[in-house]
Amino acid sequence: LLFLIFVMVLIIMGMGEVYYTMMVYFGSSRRPAAWAMLLSQYVFLVEQLIILFVVAALVENNECMKAVRACPLGIIAILFTLAGIGHLVNAISLSGYKICAGILAFSLAFISMIVLAIFGTTFEMGAEMLIPYNNIWILLAGLAVAVIGAIVYFKTVTRADLKLA
């Protein structure tokens, strides 16, 4: 379930590239469309977190769900960080640097999958080891990345030149 939610967030951010490019053509309605896009993506993210925490509360014998119960703020911070990075990559792409944004998106997805595979196969981490990462500062850092990504995206969409789309 953790891996599925992680992949779904990456897919939603990747699909955003198509929507952001079309949004530039909306003209005077770019601002409300940008707000709606941001709001709908974060509502989707919150729904996924609710499902994850309900499943974590119901499943007791799974190690991953024990980790979610031990570090809920860290999980929320990771997903908000992913959303913010996705918005930043899409803003870079919309600014005209499509190749750079593609390389950055591919490398971030590839590196994160490799890191997840390494941690999943080589390290025997218990849920108790994640407790130090369950603090408000990590959550605030994740929220800061999400807010910065959303602001950069919003400014890029509302000021983008039609030739760049």
pLDDT single digits (tens) 71-118:
788 888 888 888 888 888 877 777 777 777 778 777 877 887 787 777
Q: Which residues contact 37 (CB under 8 A, 6 or more apart)?
A: 16, 19, 20, 23
Q: Are 38 and 153 in contact (CB under 8 A)?
A: yes
Q: What is the pLDDT of residue 155?
A: 83
Q: pTM of the predicted model, to two decimals?
A: 0.75
